[in-house]
Amino acid sequence: MATDTPLRDLSGGKRAHRGDRVFNRTITGAAFTSLVVLAGITIFLGAQTIPVLQDQGLSFLTTTVWDTTGVPPEYGIAGMLYGSLLLAVIALVIAVPVSLFLAVFMVFLAPAKLSKILTNLIDLMAAIPSVIIGLWAFYVLVPPAEEWQQLLNQYLGWIPLFANDSGNFSGTPFMAGLVLAIMMIPIVTSITAEVLKRTPPELINAAESLGCSMWTMLRYVALPFGRGGIVGGIMLGLGRALGETIAVFFVLKIVFDINFFNILESGGGSVATLIVSKFGETNGEFEVQVLLAAGFFLFLGTLLVNALANLIVRRTERLRS
């Protein structure tokens, strides 16, 4: 494919026809829409963040108070920022192994026809809107999942991670992480499968004819070959998990205190969900600004994760070629 060969400049430069110069300028202008939007988000949301930081100071990022009626009112989103990360980590721990094994099954074990069907099903799963996943989770997943959490706590409760003193297993970070994992699995799987499929068949056949077991082939041929793409896919899934709002809204009880690691204890945080759940009850301009500021930090976080993901993918692609 011509994707990687450098394309010749066809614009004609200064010698171009007058109509073409207008055309080139129009297209060039339109091509920068994405830059304009990104800059717009940074500037406008950033501008709303400044008064919040001036009023609340750094405690906006480091405290867990959310007192809208106090004099003066106090806002702190530390619990939300930490909660977003915690949910993403739980989702990663569940989704990554499932996705990797699913991709291995699709690429190396399943017959070609089954593999094709699975690819379509995974893509369909990725296309299910988050509000429908939230609806399904709320009515179908949560009742049995609460039971699983109870069992987990009953037998492994001596590990602080699985402790639960309240006996209330609804709205836990574990549950939200589980739902996020379900949303991440199709993304990570389809990218991983795509990458594993590109392993040169000569290498695989050579490894197998040398008598390598499948594990050896995976460990020393396929995974090293696709490492960059797989890590990039996981990071993209992470970006999606950080920004996911609606599905989490239905399964997580938002509390402002930091829930450090009691993932089976009711209550956790998520910046994106905070914005939607508090938006309806905002009272006055400043509270809207507080939510906009929270959105600004969410934007910065996801931008960072996505940039890292692209960097990793691109670097490994360069190393390979």
- Name residues contacting other proteins, limited to 118-177 (CB under 8 A): 118, 120-125, 127-136, 138-140, 144, 147-148, 151, 155
Tell whether residue 203 is a contact of other proteins (CB under 8 A).
no
- The Cα 44–Cα 60 span in angstroms is 19
With binding defined as CB under 8 A, does residue 189 bind other proteins?
Answer: yes
Q: Does 211 bind other proteins (CB under 8 A)?
A: yes
Residue 72 DSSP SS3: coil
Extract the runs of DSSP E, i.e. beta strands, from 101-252.
none
Is position 259 an interface residue for other proteins (rule: CB under 8 A)? no
Cα separation, 277 vs 17, in Å, equals 55
286 part of the interface to other proteins, by CB under 8 A = no
The residue within the footprint of other proteins, chosen from 279, 283, 317, 320 (CB under 8 A), is 279
The number of beta carbons lying within 10 Å of the beta carbon of residue 128 is: 13
Residues in the chain, how many? 321
CB of 57 to other proteins, least distance (A): 22
In Å, what is the CA distance from 218 to each residue of 189, 207, 290, 318?
Answer: 16, 10, 49, 22
Beta bridge partners, 67, equal: 74
- Max distance between CA atoms of the chain, in angstroms, equals 78
Give residues 47-86 in contact with other proteins (rule: CB under 8 A).
Answer: 48
E strands of the chain, at which residues? Answer: 66-67, 74-75
Q: In the complex with other proteins, which residue's Cβ is closer, 62 or 114?
A: 114
Q: How far apart are CA 273 and CA 104, in angstroms?
A: 34
The tokens describing 204, both together, are: 């695989």
Q: How far is the CB of 163 from other proteins (least distance, A)?
A: 19
Q: How far is the CB of 201 from other proteins (least distance, A)?
A: 10
Residue that is written with structure tokens 């396929």 in the block? 222
Nearer to other proteins, 234 or 260 (CB): 234
Handedness of CA 195, 198, 203, 204 (dihedral sign): positive
Minimum CB distance to other proteins smaller for 137 or for 255: 137
Segment near other proteins (CB under 8 A), from 22-30, 60-68, 71-79, 160-168?
Answer: 22-30
Among residues 14, 15, 31, 321, the one that binds other proteins under rule CB under 8 A: 31
Cβ closest to other proteins, residue 22 vs residue 166: 22
The CB-of-289 to other proteins minimum distance in angstroms stands at: 9
Q: How far is the CB of 58 from other proteins (least distance, A)?
A: 22
Nearer to other proteins, 102 or 231 (CB): 102
